[in-house]
Amino acid sequence: MRKTTRPPLYGLIAEFDNPSDAVAAARRVHEEGYRIVDAFSPYPVEELSEAIGVHRTHMPLIVLIGGLLGGTLGFLLQVYVEVISFPINVGGKPYYSWPAFIPVTFECTVLGAALFAVFGMLALNGLPEPYHPVFNAPNFALASRDRFFVLVESRDPLFERERTAEFLRSLGPLEVTDVEH
Partner 1 sequence: MDATHRYTAPDAVARYRGRALLAGADFLVAGVVLAYTLGSYAGYGGFVQVFRSYLVGFFFCTGIAVGSLAWLSLGHMTGGAWALTSRRLFEAATRTLPFCLVLFIPVVVSLFVHEGGRSLYEWTDAARVAGDEALKHKQPYLNIPFFVVRGVIYFAAWFFLANLLNRWSAEQDTTGDPRLRRKMQDISGVVILVVGLTATFAAFDWGMSLEPHWFSTIYGLIVLSGWGLSALAFVITVATFLRHHEPMNDAYQPLHFHDWGKLLLTLVMLYAYFAFSQFLITWAGNLPEEIPFYLRRLHGGWQAVGLAIILFHFALPFALLLSRQRKREPSRLRRVAILMLFMRVFDLVFFFAPSVHAGGEAEFGARDLLTNFVPMFSMALGVGGIWLWYYFGQLQTRPLLPLGAPELEEAIAAAAEHH
Helices (H), ranges, 32-97:
46-51, 59-79
Task: Quote the DSSP letter at residue 82.
Answer: I
Among the listed residues 8, 53, 87, 103, the single contact to partner 1 using CB under 8 A: 103
Q: In whole angstroms, what is the distance from residue 46 CA to residue 121 CA?
A: 18
Footprint of partner 1 on 120-179 (CB under 8 A)? none
Give the shortest CB-39-to-partner 1 separation in angstroms: 16
**Between residues 20 and 144, which has the closer beta carbon with respect to partner 1?**
20
Q: Residue 60, class by beta-carbon neighbours within 10 Å (0-12 exposed, 13-18 middle, 19+ buried)? A: exposed
Among the listed residues 31, 46, 129, 162, the single contact to partner 1 using CB under 8 A: 46
Among the listed residues 54, 100, 123, 124, the single contact to partner 1 using CB under 8 A: 100
Give the shortest CB-1-to-partner 1 separation in angstroms: 50
- Nearest partner of 26 among 160, 163, 150, 173, judged by Cα: 150
Query: How many beta carbons lie within 10 A of that of residue 81, not counting itself?
Result: 14
Q: Does 102 sit near partner 1 (CB under 8 A)?
A: yes
Among the listed residues 3, 5, 44, 91, the single contact to partner 1 using CB under 8 A: 91
The answer to whether residues 22 and 148 touch, using CB atoms and an 8 Å cutoff, is yes
Using CB under 8 A, list all residues that contact partner 1. Answer: 46-47, 50, 60, 64, 91, 93, 99-100, 102-103
